[in-house]
A and B are shown apart, each in its own frame.
Chain A
Amino acid sequence: MTFRERLQAWRYNLVPDHLVGEILTKRWTDNAIPFLALVATLGVFGSIIPGFFKLTSLQESTRQLGEFSLVVIGMTVVMLGGGIDLSVGSIFALSCFSAVYVFFILEQSIWLALAAALATGLVFGAINGYLVGYLRLRAFLTTLVTFIFGRALFDILVSSYAADIQLSQASSEVLDFIGDGTFWGLSVSVWLATILAIVTHIALTRSRLGWHVLAVGGSRRSAHNAGIRVRRTVFMTYVFSGFCSSIGGFLIACRLSGAGPGTGLNLEIMALTAAVVGGVSLGGGRGSVVKGLMGAIIVLTMTNGLIRLGYGTGTNQMVLGILLAVAVTIDIRWLKNRHKVLNEVYVAPVYLKMGETQSAAPGSGTSYELDNRLSAADHIGLGELEGPEDVILDRDDHLYCGTRHGEIVRFFAPDYVKSEVFAHIGGFPLGLAFDKEGNLISCVGAMGLYSVSPEREVKRLSAETSRSWTSIVDDARLRDPNDCDIAPDGRIYFTDSTKRYDAHDWALDSIENRATGRLLVYDPKDGSTKTLLDGYRYTNGVCMAHDGKSLFFAESWACRVHRYWLEGPRAGRAECVIRDMPGYPDNINRASDGNYWMAWLGMRTPSFDLSLRHPDMRKRMTRRLPQDEWLFPNINTGGVVKFNEKGGIVETLGDLSGNAHPMVTSMREHKGYLFVGGILNNRIGRYKIAGADPNWTGPTSYWGAKP
């Protein structure tokens, strides 16, 4: 290994470049910009203002924050539903007045005042909601007008009753507590805002109504067509906003013990700014309560901070304007370009030096030497099938295969002309196996492990395994379940080829060549799924050894076959039995003579082998070249290899014509014939094996003669 290669190996195998891409795939990175802004704002003002973080100071200064946050939560929900509520300031003020009126003028209890405030907010919100939701008026214009209406009403009420409020002697300990007291170190308004924020967050992310709101905001038309009651949902968002604002109004009534002409003035623009700075998008669909809250804290800290520092009129607006422009621009650019960035950085190739291999060229004289036997295979379902990755036959000689359309197709014996859709699962059914009861078990790409009963009942067995602590991508989900086989005790062993790419992006996984393939086991007894082995380069075919004590599995991009011991002294361990093959191994199945069939989905090329030693080049390639010009494994040639228990190669079959079976992903021996499938093929081949046992079948081999 040259020094350059050693450097490359260190650089690309030790530096975890892939984490950057994985972090970027996380939804929470949406919050990155507002969060950074929040930290920066708190940091700056916290360091300039002496005693900013002092508890008593925070207790007082966060009272207003609590009220404001409540309003912002309401505004956020309305915006998520695709609307806007400019009347929050008016609702806030009117609710404040209602509370003050009931408490100070009617001299009723504080709870009645709260009820009055809430009723005011709910009624006002319902009016907005009725107009915007049911009458479908334009939100901006409508709430603008109701805002002016509410404000005028409030001003009239305040000026008429101001004198009476001053003369009132009403007082209440509860009111003083809500306005001045603290509970566990925090003011009532902060508690209320926190509770409401948590409830709203859970409702939005985990309840039907919340999903409806997001759906309506995301696409009103689609939501309508999907049967969501759009009008009612929109109505509810405004009622909620009214509710939130009214609590805010009640709190300020308690805090200031009165209402003045300035109550809630400019609140709508502040709340809108907060929501936007936090990253809630106008027009709906994107955003969260957390974002709204971050925005609220940023805006309020800035405004009050600048006033506290004694800056004059205008400085506030100037800084706020800059902040808004910068935050929104970065946020929008970030959102727009995140996918581009992600595409740029997600593929993080590693260095690998493939071992020297024997030639598979015809006439080379090695055991891997390809011949032209498979070109003579008969075809089944030619032109009807798309992508039979795996094929399997049952005890009645019927032939099953998966297709690109998510179906399992059955061809009827004996001539395999007639066919039917046996079951529709979805995804891309890949590996197939029959269990003892005759259920067809399938690894469905992008979905998980499924079982289809003889009565065609589809059942999901497993779609996830336990999550590993160190992984950033969610590796609990099965991304690319590839092949499975069943042990005598009924446990299903299967592979999940990669944690980092979806099934259809297998070429990217080959270019990256990162070892993230896994071997898993599903236990039908308790329905659990466990990860047995991790860290292989694209685990693929699985085949139970004839004695049922070990299994073979293929590691495609490393061109190796491993044996995993289920019992015996080496139980739980894997050993490499075939290494440095000239082809990329796919499915492995039993042969009638005690050996094993293995498919080659493609052949190694010196150029790609070389590129594996140049991760930088592969990285540049994926960034700068269009996909169809990428260098990736040659899948235009493949073949079928027979190997024995010890890993020795017995023979190799190929199709040099390239017409029938240029690449092979699976093959199954049945009564003297070899049935050949290919994920990119449009047929299943049937090849008569010279000298094979004409009575041998898979189900018998696995589960004995027909009971």
Chain B
Amino acid sequence: MNATGRPNWRRLNQEGIVFAIAILLFAAAALGLPGFLTADNLVAIVRSVSVLGILALGMAVVIIGRGIDLSAVAIMAMSVAWYLQLLNTGTSDGLAFAYVIAGVLAIGLLNGFLVAYADVPAIFVTLATGSFVFGYVRSQLITQDAVPVPQGHWVELLGGVRFLDIPIEVFVFAGLAFLVFLFLRYTKWGRFIYFAGDNPVAARNIGIPVRPMLVLRYALSAVVALIAGLLTAASLHSINTRVVNSTLLYDIVLVAVIGGIGLSGGRGGVRNVLVGAALIGILLNAMTIIDIPLLYQNLIKAAILLGAIIVDGIINPRDEQTAQQGDI
């Protein structure tokens, strides 16, 4: 509301719109759906989007720095699949984990290196490495689409860990969100990411180590993906590598971007990821309670997302003169 007492529509950005839709949905579901507004269900909502949210956090950091990481899902699934395969074939836990963390970091660094030093657009680099990671691990390192967690392994136990009856993923998601928030808001390098994302050339000119930071971001994103993968395996007691071919990747980008993080970089934060995750979580949960078939869920999800970006496009039209070139 501005001074004249009328709502200031100009100030309503995409984040606001999505948040409003999420609130509306939540209110409607709370009133209309029995069993929606129970503690258990609310925890379930958060839990259902926590892995998605964790991946979206990593993606958000990359996107704010004007990049994108399309290899996140491949790294998530394949690193853990390889880890479990190593365990199943008798490699010691420590060694297996060392291999995997080295592999994950190597891919993250490779992404970062190609983007930062070879000047290859991030979308291609990560598309390529994602494809490679999936292909290499699937064809050379593991024998089946799904790899089970060995009986009694810590990953399996991790899935059963509860505090106050709330599953571990929720805490990990909350903790990571808070850490990323602190990193982006209060650390020097966190602030630098915004500068580098907003105007890489200017950032470089004022002496910010733009390129090493780029590499760091992709490495970070890869490690976040590994964490997400371990949590997935923990709760399902196995990891199915077919997830790489699913629409999960699109969902991650959607969660990050629908909340208002611009793909052109420099804008957004953890709050936007949370808003995006909230919308998706509430939506899916409500539709599952109503027992809408998955196909229709996708249709409704897409329609609502489309509505959100159209409203944003109308309220905040892009200007030909100020729009960035190559911002797709």
Contact = CB atoms under 8 A, between A and B. Distances in A.
A and B touch in the complex (CB under 8 A): yes
Interface of A: 82-84, 131, 135-142, 144-149, 151-153, 155-156, 159, 219-221, 224, 230, 266, 269, 272-273, 276, 282-284, 311-322, 324-325, 328-329, 332-333, 336
8 contacts: A138-B309, A142-B306, A155-B295, A318-B139, A318-B140, A324-B124, A324-B127, A332-B118
Q: Is the interface of A mostly helix, strand, loop or mixed?
A: helix
B121 interface: yes
Nearest to B305: A145
Contact of B118 (A283, A322, A329): A329
Nearest to A333: B118
B128 A321 contact: yes
B313 A136 contact: yes
A139 B325 contact: no
Contacts of A332: 118-121
Interface in B106-150: 114, 118-121, 123-125, 127-140, 145
B326 interface: yes
Contacts of B123: 282
A140 B118 contact: no
Interface stretch (B187-195, B216-224, B245-253): B245-253
Interface of B: 114, 118-121, 123-125, 127-140, 145, 245, 247, 250, 253-254, 257-258, 263, 295-299, 301-303, 305-306, 309-310, 312-314, 317-318, 320-321, 323, 325-328
A283 B119 contact: no
A138 B263 contact: yes
Contacts of A146: 302, 306
A314 B127 contact: no
B107 to A, nearest CB: 11
A428 B303 CA distance: 60
Contacts of B258: 141
Contact of B326 (A155, A273, A282): A282
B129 A313 contact: no
Top 7 closest pairs, chain A to chain B, by CB: A318-B135, A321-B132, A314-B138, A283-B326, A317-B135, A314-B139, A321-B131
Contacts of B263: 138, 140-141
A328 B124 contact: yes
A136 B316 CA distance: 10
A140 B295 CA distance: 22
Q: Is the interface of B mostly helix, strand, loop or mixed?
A: helix
Contact of B140 (A220, A314, A322): A314
Nearest to B308: A145
A149 B303 CA distance: 7
A381 to B, nearest CB: 42
A129 B296 CA distance: 25
Given A282-B326, A325-B125, A318 B136 contact: yes
B128 A135 contact: no
A639 B310 CA distance: 73
Contact of A321 (B133, B303, B317, B320): B133
Contacts, number: 171
B258 to A, nearest CB: 8
Contacts of B130: 321
Contact of A82 (B127, B129, B314, B326): B326
A219 B320 CA distance: 10
Given A148-B247, A148-B301, A321-B129, A221 B328 contact: no
B90 to A, nearest CB: 22
B68 to A, nearest CB: 9
B135 A319 contact: yes
B326 A284 contact: yes
A136, A138, A319, most chain B CB atoms within 10 A: A138
Nearest to A149: B302
Nearest to B319: A136
A230 B319 CA distance: 12
Contacts of B125: 325, 328
Given A135-B314, A221-B325, A152 B299 contact: yes
Contacts of B305: 145, 148
B306 A322 contact: no
A258 B131 CA distance: 30
B328 A84 contact: yes
A146, A317, A333, most chain B CB atoms within 10 A: A317
A145 B308 CA distance: 11
A152 B295 contact: yes
A144 B254 contact: yes
B145 A313 contact: yes
A191 B119 CA distance: 38
Contacts of A282: 121, 123-124, 326, 328
Nearest to B131: A321
A131 B310 contact: yes
Contacts of B129: 321, 325
Contacts of B301: 148, 152
Given A152-B295, A276-B124, A220 B323 contact: yes
Contacts of A137: 309-310, 312-313
A220 B320 contact: yes
Nearest to B262: A138
A147 B251 CA distance: 12
Given A283-B326, A325-B128, A329-B120, A145 B309 contact: yes
Contacts of B137: 314
Nearest to A266: B245
B306 A149 contact: yes
Contacts of B134: 314, 317-318, 321
A312 B317 CA distance: 48
B239 to A, nearest CB: 15
Given A136-B313, A322-B132, A332-B118, A152 B298 contact: yes
Nearest to A230: B320
A261 to B, nearest CB: 10
Given A146-B302, A282-B124, A317-B138, 18 more contacts: A138-B327, A141-B254, A141-B257, A141-B258, A145-B254, A145-B305, A220-B320, A283-B328, A314-B140, A317-B134, A317-B135, A318-B135, A320-B135, A321-B134, A321-B135, A328-B120, A333-B119, A336-B119
A28 B263 CA distance: 33
Nearest to B145: A313
A562 B58 CA distance: 74
A151 B257 CA distance: 20
B159 to A, nearest CB: 27
A155 B299 CA distance: 10
Nearest to B78: A314
A282 B123 CA distance: 9
A220 B295 CA distance: 38
A311 B135 CA distance: 11
Nearest to B306: A145
Contacts of A329: 114, 118, 120
B295 A328 contact: no
B299 A138 contact: no
Nearest to A328: B124
Contacts of B320: 220-221, 224, 230
A284 B328 CA distance: 10
A276 B309 CA distance: 27
A155 B140 CA distance: 33
